[in-house]
């Protein structure tokens, strides 16, 4: 099971995502990004965070430590924003904490231009996302962090935010384990990910025993019993069955054919041109400030 801690201090909300997680300190002296059961995404997002995050860790990928954090809304009584307070009040009890990577940098398209990720590591990340149907690791929202960004330890890519994965559990039976998804615009696609090598390495490791162990780390209260799945044990078994079948069918969904940086740039330029042409004449004369290239940055400062 995951380690359990108690949140002792609420520091601030994070508004970079739709779920509005919060940064907290806990009684183990750790600092965590807390994802709340009361968020609009619901508890299935937390189930996905646990299953995908812990599976990634077992397969050798870097994921910040996950903990179960008991949260009392009283420690955040000073939060000034009503919508955030409503979220916190609805999240009393057990929530999911992720180790806070202090000083980490998001792997943005600009940073990706200069930060090296080898084809083998990129392939393993893409393979995991394809296995778990994670549709939220794109060039526009990588959900990857580079950490540490200072000191003598070389920076590495860390996987975060898996709440949008396991899309099949929102409608059990609507898709088959063999179904392929479009991963052409994966955040690591332009690193020439070696997904075939990743498949040969990782698919045999996704065993029924491993999946049962990982799914067993999800708190029972977060599992949703629904039509055909009447008990928490049946829900756990459904996750194991689907992911095991998907791992065994990997050759049918293995993503290939990723665009290069140049092809991505051409696609983005064509998309921007189509958008411009679709504007009314008066709007075409308004400068597109968002289309300006980002300022040049010396990422060596951030990456030590």
Per-residue pLDDT reduced to its tens digit, 68-119: 999 999 999 999 999 999 999 999 999 999 999 999 999 998 898 899 999 9
Residue 282's pLDDT band, with cuts at 50, 70 and 90, is low
Token couple for 231: 């008990």
| Domain endpoint, select from 213, 237, 253 | 253
Instruction: Kindly calculate the radius of gyration of the chain based on its CA atoms and give it in whole angstroms.
Output: 21
Average of per-residue pLDDT across 174-203: 95
Of 57, 72, 99, which marks where a domain is finished?
99
Residues 119 and 50 in one domain: no
pLDDT recorded at residue 292: 45
Cis peptide before 148 (omega within 30 of 0): yes
Most confident of 150-154, 215-219, 227-231, 256-260: 215-219
Structural domain span for residue 128:
105-253
pLDDT over 50 at 241, yes or no? yes
- Mean residue pLDDT across the chain: 91
Residues 113, 249 share a domain: yes
Q: Across the chain, which distance is largest between two alpha carbons, in Å? A: 62
279: in domain: no
pLDDT score recorded for residue 294? 42
Q: How many domains does the chain have?
A: 2
Q: Under DSSP, is residue 295 helix (H, G, I), strand (E, B) or coil?
A: coil
Q: Is the domain of 20 the same as that of 66?
A: yes
Give yes or no for a contact between 278 and 162, defined as CB atoms under 8 angstroms apart.
no
**In the chain, what percentage of residues exceed pLDDT 70?**
91
At 295 the pLDDT is: 43
Instruction: Please check whether residues 71 and 8 belong to one and the same domain.
Output: yes
Q: For residues 61 and 53, give the distance between their C-alpha atoms in angstroms, rounded to a whole number.
A: 9
Question: Residue 251 to residues 168, 178, 244, 295: CA-CA distances in angstroms?
Answer: 19, 9, 13, 42
Q: What is the mean pLDDT of residues 251-266?
A: 88
pLDDT score at 75: 98
Q: What is the pTM of this model?
A: 0.89
Q: What is the mean pLDDT of residues 196-209?
A: 98
- Gap between the Cα atoms of 258 and 130, Å rounded: 13
pLDDT-derived band at 290 (thresholds 50, 70, 90) equals very low
Is the pLDDT assigned to residue 18 strictly greater than 80? no
Give, in degrees to the nearest 5, the angle at Cα 216 between 212 and 218: 135
Per-residue pLDDT at 140: 87
- Both 184 and 241 in a single domain? yes
Whether residue 228 is contained in a domain is answered as yes
- pLDDT value for 276: 81
Percent of the residues in the chain that have a pLDDT greater than 90, as a whole number: 78
pLDDT confidence bin for 287, thresholds 50/70/90? low
pLDDT at residue 281, rounded to an integer:
67
Judge whether 276 lies within some domain.
Answer: no
């Amino acid at each position: 099971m995951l380690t359990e801690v108690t949140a002792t201090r609420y520091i601030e909300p994070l508004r970079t995502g739709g779920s509005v997680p919060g940064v907290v300190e806990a009684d183990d002296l750790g600092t965590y990004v807390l994802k709340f059961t009361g968020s609009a995404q619901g508890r299935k997002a937390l189930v996905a965070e646990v299953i995908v995050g812990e599976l990634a860790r077992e397969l050798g990928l870097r994921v910040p430590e996950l903990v179960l954090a008991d949260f009392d809304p009283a420690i955040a009584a000073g939060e000034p924003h009503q919508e955030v307070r409503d979220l916190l009040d609805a999240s009393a009890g057990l929530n999911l904490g992720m180790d806070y990577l202090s000083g980490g940098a998001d792997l943005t398209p600009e940073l990706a231009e200069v930060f090296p990720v080898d084809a083998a590591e990129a392939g393993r990340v893409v393979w995991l996302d394809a296995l778990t149907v994670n549709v939220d690791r794109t060039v526009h929202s990588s959900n990857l962090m580079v950490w540490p960004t200072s000191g003598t330890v070389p920076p590495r890519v860390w996987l975060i935010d898996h709440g949008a994965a396991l899309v099949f559990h929102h409608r059990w039976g609507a898709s088959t384990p063999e179904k392929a998804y479009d991963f052409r615009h994966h955040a690591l696609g332009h690193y020439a990910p070696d997904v075939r090598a990743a498949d040969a390495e990782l698919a045999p490791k996704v065993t029924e025993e491993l999946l049962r162990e990982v799914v067993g780390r999800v708190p029972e209260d977060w599992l949703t019993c629904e039509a055909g799945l009447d008990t928490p044990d049946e829900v756990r078994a459904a996750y194991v069955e689907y992911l095991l079948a998907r791992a065994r069918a990997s050759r049918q969904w293995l993503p290939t054919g990723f665009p290069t940086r140049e092809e991505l740039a051409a696609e983005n330029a064509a998309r921007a041109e189509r958008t411009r042409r679709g504007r009314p004449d008066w709007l075409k004369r308004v400068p597109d400030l968002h289309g300006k290239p980002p300022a040049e940055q010396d990422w060596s400062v951030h990456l030590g």
